[in-house]
Chain A
Amino acid sequence: MKVSMRVNGVDHEHDVEPRTLLVQHLRENLRLTGTHVGCDTSQCGACTIHVNGEAVKACTMFAIQADGAEITTIEGLATNGELHPMQKAFWENHGLQCGYCTPGMIMASVDMLKNNPNPTEEEIRHGLEGNFCRCTGYHNIVKSVKAAAESMQGGA
């Protein structure tokens, strides 16, 4: 089936089998391998992307469901070579260890701040309930999100 979507500002049209998962389509057809597959059971959040502006687990959606959608992946966050404030904050606060969960963590955190620009630590931890870090590096992830919220509030 034909499926077209705008990914990180670029239009793509492909012929896919209906059973193609969105994450598989992004990684294998569009070669956007920044979005990871972790558990593949909608629990770990490594595959979190934005579909029409909302955080979604790309392993639990078929590519055909995203026909006509506007999609942002981790590759689309930076603008003109300038890291997104969330990416900067993860870098500066050592918000990643092995890095496997990081794209999902960052996409989830960006969506969280859109709904709640100034979250408390508890709200950040609840907001990241759908994202697992198997290095258990949560402390610095929470610190990173807090720092990003502060820098984004400051008009950065």
Chain B
Amino acid sequence: MYPAEFDYVKVSSLEEAISLKQQGDENSILAGGHSLIPAMKLRLSTPKKLIDISGLNQYKNISNNGSHISIGALCTHKQCAESDVIQQNCPALSDAASVIGDPHVRNKGTIGGALAHSDPQADYPGAILALNATMVVKGSSGGRTIAADDYFTGLWETALGEGELLTEIRIPVNPMNANSCYVKFPQPASRYPYVGCGVALSSSGGNCSDIRVGFSGVGEWAFRDAGIENALKGQALNSSSIAAAAEKAAEGKAVLSDHFVSEEYRRAMSKVFAKRAITKVS
């Protein structure tokens, strides 16, 4: 399949990328290309100009800054899956990264690209919401941060403004994030999640002191599940309290339906996978 024609520029600085992006919203940023190129081949996306940022090596690092884990937007899924820093401090993120697509896709696709694209069937968002991450973005008027809770705003929509680029993802370092996981029910061919559930949980004396739950693949965009969180907060952690909380999964949310998985089945599986994820970190 041939994408529509486009011009191509490989930039050597972020400023150059921002300025090219601002010249027209038909211009698209190219990182790993594993969301954008398939969309271009289907002509769902027909950018006038591709701005290749893959040479900006300063955005390819993962580090622990004490208060947060800093992940450069150009880190590949493979890097995120294999990073000791991520596995120890926010395992929900390495769990999610390790089940995206397949090994070849994980070699090329980037965390920043995936989050900027914000596919409803992407894996990271559920984990990012559970981990209370912060997105660092840059535009021509400077930088700002966006909380994960405010970031996913619609189907393929995010709070990123025109001409803004996602440069870094920050995950707070705390015991709750260190006790997190992401579990997934994948479509067997495409590997996209029918249901992906991220959970971060802290407990004291056998009681759940705090919990954050994020779902990917279930709704038109990723969401936090306050129903589950409120049902479990302050409760003793045992199989019946976890099962009762998981029953609240996606309550009051619009749930996707497609020719593989009906709304009813996806809703039922959301409960099953919420229960598995919470059990894993309890």
Contacts and interface: CB of A to CB of B under 8 A. Distances in A.
Interface in B1-56: 1-8, 10, 30, 33-34, 37-38, 41, 50, 52, 54
A154 B129 CA distance: 47
A43 B190 contact: yes
Contact of B108 (A56, A108, A132): A56
B120 to A, nearest CB: 18
B6 A55 contact: no
Contacts of A64: 8, 10, 52
B38 A41 contact: yes
B2 A56 contact: no
Interface in B249-274: none
Q: Looking at chain B, what size class is its interface with the partner chain?
A: 20 to 34
A19 to B, nearest CB: 5
B37 A62 contact: yes
Given A45-B104, A48-B104, A60-B108, A129 B191 contact: yes
B103 interface: yes
A18 B50 contact: yes
A145 to B, nearest CB: 13
B8 A60 contact: no
Interface in B98-123: 101-105, 107-108
Nearest to A112: B103
Nearest to B78: A54
Given A18-B50, A19-B4, A41-B41, A130 B108 contact: no
B73 to A, nearest CB: 17
A120 interface: no
Nearest to B189: A43
Interface string A36-64: 00001111010010000011110011101
A127 interface: yes
Given A40-B41, A61-B108, A62-B37, A130 B1 contact: no
Contact of A55 (B101, B107, B191): B107
Interface of B: 1-8, 10, 30, 33-34, 37-38, 41, 50, 52, 54, 101-105, 107-108, 189-191
Interface of A: 1, 17-19, 21, 40-43, 45, 48, 54-57, 60-62, 64-65, 67, 108, 111-112, 127, 129-132
16 contacts: A18-B7, A18-B50, A19-B4, A21-B2, A42-B34, A43-B189, A43-B190, A57-B104, A61-B33, A61-B108, A65-B33, A67-B10, A112-B103, A129-B103, A130-B104, A130-B105
